[in-house]
């Protein structure tokens, strides 16, 4: 098989959306939220220098990091094209703390040849110490592209040989953890407060992972989120009489309201019962809960 060396964005897709929370699973460790790195000033200076001196055309066509008009999504789509062409072996190298450990004397010397700004060069030199690169062996490998993570995404191959995009298992795990935190059945928060935080998070997450080609997983996650919200609402109502009254107020059939109220302490069990005919998809739409699917 042929192999391809593909440069991924150095910023690891740290993206935010105007309507969304900071994106999950897109930081360099692909956990949940982008890191607030106090040492990020050096990265910003480099981006400014590249833009000011217009040296972007000298970059490799396969490079996506720190480049105007390029995003993490572009890198994911490029990787998918390579794999679809038959390049199934990837050299995946993670440089641990690259901007902290790179030999800054060499880096600044090369930048000086292209960036005509002595003041910026002096500032960069003060920011950087002379260190050496170190490969993060736990995150590096020469292996099949299937099963590796690409900026929170994973690639898989359908029965017809078509290469498709999905959310990586680790990113999905982090997503579920965050949803559990936001929809926990304790904390004394109103449904409106929970939905507001959930909305911001879901919009940001959906905005980044919109390239995923797994609609069934999206529908499954939507149903799971709504079930957690139903269980949370039932616990807030707590008593059988309150559950019955609130369900009737929402237009429930008396038999449905009575059957749910009879098991008032079994919140998770009830969240999958006839209550879904009252706290429907449309009900959560009206509350402002975004759908992933």
Which residue reads 């069990």 in tokens?
269
pLDDT tens by residue, 244-260: 999 999 999 899 888 88
Q: Which two tokens stand for residue 11?
A: 């910023």
Distance CA 250, CA 65 (A): 51
pLDDT band at 14 (very low <50, low <70, confident <90, very high): very low
Taking residues 270-293, what's their average pLDDT? 90
What sign for the dihedral angle of Cα 34, 36, 42, 47? positive
Taking residues 132-141, what's their average pLDDT? 70
Distance CA 201, CA 24 (A): 8
Residue 52 has phi, psi (to 5 degrees) of -65, -40
Is 234 within 8 Å of 272 (Cβ atoms)? no
pLDDT at residue number 161 = 87
Distance CA 126, CA 233 (A): 55
Predicted TM-score (pTM) of this structure: 0.71
Q: Which two tokens stand for residue 32?
A: 């949940």
Distance CA 119, CA 21 (A): 36
Q: Which two tokens stand for residue 46?
A: 């480099």
Nearest to 280 by CA among 195, 240, 223: 223
Q: Which bin fits 212, alpha (ψ -120 to 50), beta or left (φ > 0)?
A: beta
| 133 has a pLDDT exceeding 60 | no
Distance CA 225, CA 207 (A): 17
pLDDT band at 10 (very low <50, low <70, confident <90, very high): very low
Distance CA 171, CA 165 (A): 13
Report the share of the chain in percent with pLDDT over 90: 34
pLDDT tens by residue, 215-271: 999 999 999 999 999 999 999 998 999 999 999 999 998 998 888 888 888 888 888
Nearest to 183 by CA among 218, 220, 231: 231
């Amino acid at each position: 098989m042929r192999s391809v060396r593909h440069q991924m964005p150095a910023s690891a897709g740290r993206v935010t959306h105007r309507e969304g929370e900071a994106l999950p699973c897109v930081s360099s460790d692909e956990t949940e939220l982008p890191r607030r790195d106090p040492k990020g000033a050096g990265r910003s200076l480099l981006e400014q220098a590249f833009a000011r001196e217009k040296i972007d055309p000298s970059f490799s066509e396969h490079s996506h990091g720190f480049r105007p008009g390029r995003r993490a999504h572009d890198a994911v789509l490029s990787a998918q094209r390579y794999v679809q062409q038959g390049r199934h072996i990837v050299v995946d190298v993670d440089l641990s703390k690259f901007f902290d450990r790179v030999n800054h004397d060499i880096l600044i010397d090369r930048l000086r040849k292209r960036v005509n700004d002595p003041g910026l060069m002096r500032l960069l030199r003060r920011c950087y110490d002379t260190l050496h690169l170190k490969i993060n062996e736990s995150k590096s490998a020469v292996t099949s592209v299937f099963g590796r993570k690409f900026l929170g995404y994973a690639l898989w191959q359908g029965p017809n040989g078509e290469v498709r995009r999905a959310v990586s298992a680790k990113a999905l795990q982090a997503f579920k953890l965050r949803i559990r935190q936001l929809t926990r059945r304790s904390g004394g928060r109103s449904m409106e407060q929970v939905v507001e935080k959930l909305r911001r998070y879901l919009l940001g997450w959906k905005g980044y992972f919109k390239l995923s080609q797994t609609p069934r997983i999206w529908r499954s996650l939507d149903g799971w989120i709504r079930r957690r919200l139903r269980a949370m609402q039932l616990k807030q109502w707590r008593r059988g009489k309150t559950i019955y009254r609130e369900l009737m107020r929402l237009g429930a059939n008396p038999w449905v309201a009575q059957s749910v109220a009879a098991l008032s302490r079994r919140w998770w069990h009830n969240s999958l019962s006839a209550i879904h005919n009252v706290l429907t998809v449309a009900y959560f739409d009206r509350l402002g809960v975004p759908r992933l699917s």
